[in-house]
Amino acid sequence: MKIGPYTLTSRFLLAPMAGVTDAPFRRLCREFGAGLTTSEMTTADISLWQTEKSRRRLDIDGDLEPRAVQIAGSEPEQMALAARLCVERGAQIVDINMGCPAKKVCRKLAGSALMQDEALVQKILAAVVAAVDIPVTLKMRTGWDPDHRNGPEIAKIAEGEGIQALAVHGRTRACRYKGDAEYETIARIKNSLSIPVIANGDITTLEKSLEVLRLTEADALMVGRGAQGRPWFFRELIHFHETGKKIAPLELEKVRDIMLGHLNGLYRFYGETTGVRVARKHLSWYCAELTDSASFRSKVVRVDSASEQLTLTRDYFARQRERASLAA
Ligand SMILES: Cc1cc2nc3c(=O)[nH]c(=O)nc-3n(C[C@H](O)[C@H](O)[C@H](O)COP(=O)(O)O)c2cc1C
């Protein structure tokens, strides 16, 4: 699949997730074959860019190309300026967030709340596309609420304004993350556009990925929560769709090395104190994938130093190896 001049290395993309898809996690997902990763959303209000949080969110120096940054806001000129500054910082794709139901964004009528004002959507898209000479993409939901699934209308507006790819999460804003994602509206959108359409929502298994592609005929799939604690899901998806077969699970030693590398990446990126804190949620997600991990999990999310997190992680895997060799 292509976005503007960029041919993506795979059609399995990582969804932007604030608080999750930071630089270390993006790097890891790309290593496992994610065709594109996007920064966590950054406010278009550049007066807030001096904060540590925004500075980190805009850190795309280590990303593989194409480097995509997501911005969220509701004022066309502000969004245009933010997009220009993202380009100055090395962005090669600017993604506009109209998918996030988070309160903080929506109180300012941004994220998916914007979908209720189609005229404003048009102004924002036009302003951003005119402001930069890199591809602008849009991420949205299927509509404002189940009675107003205006995703197809917004999609048409987006294509008309020069948006170069569209990611659609199969829920409305009112659904937040409840219920199951639906793919019928995504299929309708795909059917009516010429630009690439990326289907998103609840793709957590290989079987589901096949089903979503069949139902929507989308050009690519975007995975969010399905990659938490298992960045290797992208490798599984690629293998499955290329060969029709499931790839053998990663060896325990490999999983250990991935986790230790991820932890060290977080400590480097955030510094030890914040890094240890951020690592806790990733460790919890990894544990959901690991056998007999309950006691490891309860300890590792409580310690306060990098060395303790690393030691507990190594010890868990050493114990698992011992058990495996006793059982053999
Ligand atoms: C913790 C979290 C943070 C998110 N942050 C963003 C964000 O910054 N920008 C955005 O467009 N969507 C955001 N989303 C929505 C995801 O990109 C995605 O559309 C949604 O999770 C559905 O995909 P999934 O079922 O594969 O997780 C977030 C979702 C989660 C769970």
pLDDT in tens, 147-157: 889 999 999 99
The predicted pLDDT at position 231 comes to 98
The predicted pLDDT at position 298 comes to 98
d(CA 313, ligand 1 centre) in Å: 28
246's tokens = 């499931």
CA 309, 273, 14, 102 torsion: positive or negative? positive
DSSP structure class, residue 37: -
User: Per-residue pLDDT for 105 more than 60?
Assistant: no
**Phi, psi torsion values for 248, nearest 5 degrees:** -60, 145
The predicted pLDDT at position 109 comes to 67
User: Could you give the dihedral angle defined by the CA atoms of residues 308, 310, 315 and 318, in that order, rounded to the nearest 10 degrees?
Assistant: -170
Task: Report the alpha-carbon distance of residue 163 to residue 121 in Å, rounded.
Answer: 12
Q: Which residues are catalytic?
A: 100
User: Per-residue pLDDT for 31 more than 70?
Assistant: yes
Tell me the residue ranges of DSSP E strands in 75-204: 93-98, 136-143, 165-172, 197-200
The predicted pLDDT at position 1 comes to 94
- The 10 Å Cβ neighbour count of residue 8 is 18
d(CA 97, ligand 1 centre) in Å: 10
SS3 of 189-211: the string is HHHHCCCCEEEECCCCCHHHHHH
Say yes or no: CB of residue 40 within 6 Å of ligand 1.
Answer: yes
The predicted pLDDT at position 275 comes to 98
Say yes or no: CB of residue 39 within 6 Å of ligand 1.
Answer: no
Task: Report the alpha-carbon distance of residue 218 to residue 198 in Å, rounded.
Answer: 6
What pLDDT, in 10s, does the model give residues 288-309? 999 999 999 999 999 999 999 9
Ligand 1 site-directed mutation target among 12, 14, 17, 36, most atoms within 8 Å of CB: 17
pTM of the model: 0.96
Q: Average pLDDT in the 8-30 region?
A: 97
Do 230 and 205 touch, CB atoms closer than 8 A? no
